[in-house]
Amino acid sequence: MALLAGIRDAARRDPAIGTRVGVLVQAVSGEEGGAMGVFGTRPLVEAGYVGALNVFCEPTSGRYQPTATAAATAEVRVDGEDAIDDAPEAGHNATVLLGHLAAHLGDRLDRVCIAGLHTGTAHNRVYGSGSLLVNLPYATAAHGAELTAALEHHVATGVADFATRYAARPTLARTAADAAAITSVRWRKRGLPTLSDAGPGLAALMAAAGIPRGAAAFTCDAIWMSGTPGATAVLGPGDLAANRAHAAGEHARLADLDAFAAQVSRLLLAFADPTPGGTTR
């Protein structure tokens, strides 16, 4: 709504907005939710729905970001046999094995997100199967390739360490012996592009609109603009941490939305400026 308010204000101030200067608003689903590339921004970009200026609305505290990271998501799986609580040694204990791997990876991979670990909910059963999700953010394709290789390496060393550490434990001996055979890594996503080049004229345009540059970068659908012509920026109201993004209590402040609407208006007016020093496209 703040975005639309900013567009409306700019159109009121300059009749070129919406006539000589086209504005396309895209609202997509699946962004950041693991479905990146299946639906959302990617097919729109591939269909040519891009502009000379492309702004992705994300919480950036009102500071534009000319880059965007990407993330690889690994699912570490254990596929073994269950057992009952009266004979836990008869099956594989995926909970202990995956817990060991979670700690092992968390200790060896920098800035890794150890996410969900799931085996089961019953108290009187040993679960032989389960999964651990790991998210690996990266700023360049080369770094992404290094991280995916590192995760696979550390899963292997973690499995080997588990096999040695618990070989003599009666309730975990079978799990230790079979750990390598029942553990695998499946990539939910990897090899996604990153946005490292904001495009021509972006800094001057943002300066003309009075919008400062931010220092941090994070993952969003702006990655699909990699390699396309035009300028791209990530800009929006609020802060990921302060406004509890993706968590209980997620909220937006009205003052931040008002400020963002004003930024959108100024940015469009600067883009449409027909003067010799302007940025008309």
Tokens representing 271? 């883009």
Instruction: For strands 70-79 and 129-138, give the pairing.
Output: antiparallel
Q: Is the pLDDT of residue 53 over 80?
A: yes
CATH 1.10.3720.10 holds for 70-189 = no
Section 70-86 average pLDDT: 96
Confidence at residue 31, expressed as pLDDT on a 0 to 100 scale = 65
Instruction: Return d(Cα 21, Cα 3) in angstroms, integer.
Output: 16
Q: Is the pLDDT of residue 279 over 70?
A: no
187-235 pLDDT tens trace: 998 999 999 877 779 999 999 999 999 988 888 889 999 989 889 999 9
CATH domain 2-69+194-272 topology? Aminopeptidase (3.40.630)
Instruction: Return d(Cα 179, Cα 193) in angstroms, integer.
Output: 34
Q: Is 267:211 a contact under the CB 8 Å cutoff?
A: yes
Where do the domains of the chain lie? 2-69+194-272, 70-189
81-123 pLDDT tens trace: 999 999 999 999 999 999 999 999 999 998 899 999 999 999 9
Q: Is 193:72 a contact under the CB 8 Å cutoff?
A: no
> Strand runs (DSSP E) across the chain, as ranges?
53-56, 70-79, 83-84, 113-118, 125-126, 129-138, 183-189, 231-234
Instruction: Return d(Cα 90, Cα 223) in angstroms, integer.
Output: 48
Residue in the block written with tokens 């990921």 = 240
Please state whether the predicted TM-score (pTM) of the whole model is above 0.75.
yes
Instruction: Return d(Cα 108, Cα 119) in angstroms, integer.
Output: 23
Neighbours of 273 (CB within 10 A): 17
Tokens representing 185? 């890594």
Q: Is the pLDDT of residue 276 over 50?
A: no
Averaged pLDDT score across all residues of the chain: 92
Between 32 and 198, where is the model more confident?
A: 198
Question: Measured between alpha carbons, how far apart are the two ends of the chain, in Å?
Answer: 26
Instruction: For strands 231-234 and 53-56, give the pairing.
Output: parallel
Give residue 35's pLDDT band: very low, low, confident or very high (50, 70, 90): low
142-199 pLDDT tens trace: 999 999 999 999 999 999 999 999 999 999 999 999 999 999 999 998 999 999 877 7
* Sequence-distant contacts of 172-178: CB under 8 A, at least 24 apart: 172/89, 172/93, 172/96, 173/89, 174/89, 174/90, 174/91, 174/92, 175/80, 175/92, 175/93, 175/94, 175/96, 175/97, 178/80, 178/92
What angle separates helix 254-272 from helix 2-13, to the nearest 10 degrees?
40
Instruction: Return d(Cα 96, Cα 72) in angstroms, integer.
Output: 25
Task: Tell me if 2-69+194-272 shares its fold with 70-189.
Answer: no
Nearest CA among 101, 43, 47, 41 for reference residue 74: 101
Q: Is the pLDDT of residue 80 over 80?
A: yes
